[in-house]
């Protein structure tokens, strides 16, 4: 959940705590009680999909790291094959112009069929005996990591969409509950203040700014030098 969604969720938790504390006052199975029950179900959904969203986000980060490693492995093998092919005078092995993961996968899928008839020549140029098998494995690894990342991203987006929908429904339920509680608690200021406190959505916390370092003061200017001594001698008096 983002910061706003978390603050909405925390507000709902406080509202449900109020419901638990003052349920006798609210009246079991009353209209207000039924609305609180709807909020309880919404809060449980938010908790569940918040967990799914967080796990999906973590899975996306993990998949992205695996994808980067798989891509580098495949690119290294493709570049080795293409460089060796140039030295052999072969013109059918080139790196894809588009430097995308899908382009590398496509190259990794098309190279083996063209390499098989030429395997002996490539091995004679000091490529390992199983270089084609390694290429196939690297291609499959990258392709699988792309699918895993897309799946994890889909789970994360689905959870986010559900959170937004459930939160919207919960806020609509609260808008129905607010006037009922206002009327119910009009003659009970202490409980009304508890409700107002529970119902309030906290403001986002601002991060404290780091203290600014004081700029070093310029050293004081040196005193001006004394005036040069006069070289003239006072005139002597004659009698």
Task: In the chain, count H helices and then E strands.
Answer: 7, 0
pLDDT band, very low/low/confident/very high, at 219 (cuts 50, 70, 90): low
The closest alpha carbon to 83, from 71, 72, 95, 73, belongs to 95
Instruction: Determine the pLDDT at residue 131.
Output: 95
pTM of the model: 0.60
Phi and psi dihedrals of 44, rounded to 5? Answer: -65, -40
pLDDT digits (tens, 9 = 90+) for 6-61: 888 888 999 999 999 999 898 888 999 999 999 999 999 888 888 878 877 777 77
Q: In the predicted model, is pLDDT for residue 112 greater than 70?
A: yes
- CA atoms of 172 and 177, how far apart (whole Å): 9
Tokens representing residue 13 in the block: 């938790």
Instruction: Determine the pLDDT at residue 3.
Output: 67
């Amino acid at each position: 959940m983002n910061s706003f969604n978390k603050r909405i969720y925390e507000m709902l938790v406080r509202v449900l705590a109020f419901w638990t504390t003052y349920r006798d006052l609210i009246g079991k199975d009353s209209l207000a009680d039924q609305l609180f029950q709807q909020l309880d179900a919404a809060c449980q959904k938010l908790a569940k999909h918040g967990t799914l969203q967080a796990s999906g986000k973590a899975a996306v980060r993990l998949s992205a790291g695996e994808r980067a490693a798989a891509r580098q492995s495949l690119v290294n093998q493709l570049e080795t094959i293409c460089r060796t092919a140039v030295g052999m005078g072969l013109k059918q092995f080139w790196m894809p112009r588009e430097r995308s993961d899908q382009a590398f996968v496509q190259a990794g899928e098309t190279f083996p069929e063209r390499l098989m008839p030429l395997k002996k020549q490539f091995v004679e140029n000091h490529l390992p005996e199983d270089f084609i098998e390694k290429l196939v494995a690297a291609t499959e690894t990258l392709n699988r990591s792309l699918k895993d990342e897309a799946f994890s991203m889909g789970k994360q987006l689905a959870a986010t969409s559900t959170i937004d929908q459930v939160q919207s429904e919960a806020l609509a339920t609260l808008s129905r509950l607010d006037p009922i509680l206002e009327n119910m608690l009009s003659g009970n200021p202490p409980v009304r203040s508890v409700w107002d406190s529970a119902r309030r959505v906290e403001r986002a916390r601002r991060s404290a700014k780091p203290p600014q370092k004081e700029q070093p003061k310029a050293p004081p200017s040196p005193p001006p030098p004394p005036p040069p001594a006069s070289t003239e001698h006072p005139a002597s008096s004659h009698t």
